[in-house]
């Protein structure tokens, strides 16, 4: 299975947060699954970190690169077809980071791991609990 992690799913997984359901954790840890983190999520975390909303004890780039490497999570770039995929999404969810993650998920056929039920209205295959 090819999984795309929503930003909070990545953070809850690498930080060991109990808000991540056991099913989501099992899917991420299953070596048969390919797990990806969108560069849109990296962008979102970097902005929040620079605004003081996501404090860390080390530079954000070290945190992200270390945790993706340590957990065998591949960074996934935003491509032109993902941007054009935004045209097919209804305007029911306005968060630009969520919208590009949804477009990537749909275009690439990923299963999106996210607690955010708003993705359901975007026609994304979402798994959580």
Q: What is the CATH number of the domain that holds 66?
A: 3.40.50.1010
How many folded domains does the chain comprise? Answer: 1
**pLDDT value, residue 98:** 94
For 22-76, the pLDDT digits (tens) are: 999 999 999 999 999 999 999 999 999 999 998 999 999 999 999 999 999 999 9
The pLDDT, as a whole number, for residue 129 is: 86
Q: Give the model confidence (pLDDT) of 91-127 as tens digits.
A: 887 889 999 999 999 999 999 999 999 999 998 999 9
User: Would you state the pLDDT for residue 101?
Assistant: 97
Q: What is the domain extent for residue 43?
A: 2-127
C-alpha radius of gyration, the chain, whole number: 14
Give the 3-state secondary structure of 56-102: CCCCHHHHHHHHHHHCCEEEECCCHHHHHHHHHCCCCCCCHHHHHHH
């Amino acid at each position: 299975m090819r999984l795309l992690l929503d930003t909070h799913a990545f953070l809850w997984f690498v930080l060991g947060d109990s808000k991540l359901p056991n099913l989501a954790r099992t899917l991420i840890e299953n070596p048969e699954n390919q797990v990806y983190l969108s560069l849109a999520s990296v962008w979102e975390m970097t902005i929040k970190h620079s605004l003081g909303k996501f404090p860390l004890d080390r530079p954000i780039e070290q945190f992200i690169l270390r945790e993706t490497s340590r957990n065998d999570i591949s960074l996934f770039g935003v491509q032109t077809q993902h941007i054009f995929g935004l045209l097919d999404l209804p305007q029911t969810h306005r968060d630009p980071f969520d919208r590009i993650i949804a477009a990537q998920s749909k275009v690439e056929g990923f299963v999106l791991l996210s607690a955010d039920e708003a993705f359901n209205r975007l026609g994304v295959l979402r798994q959580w609990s």
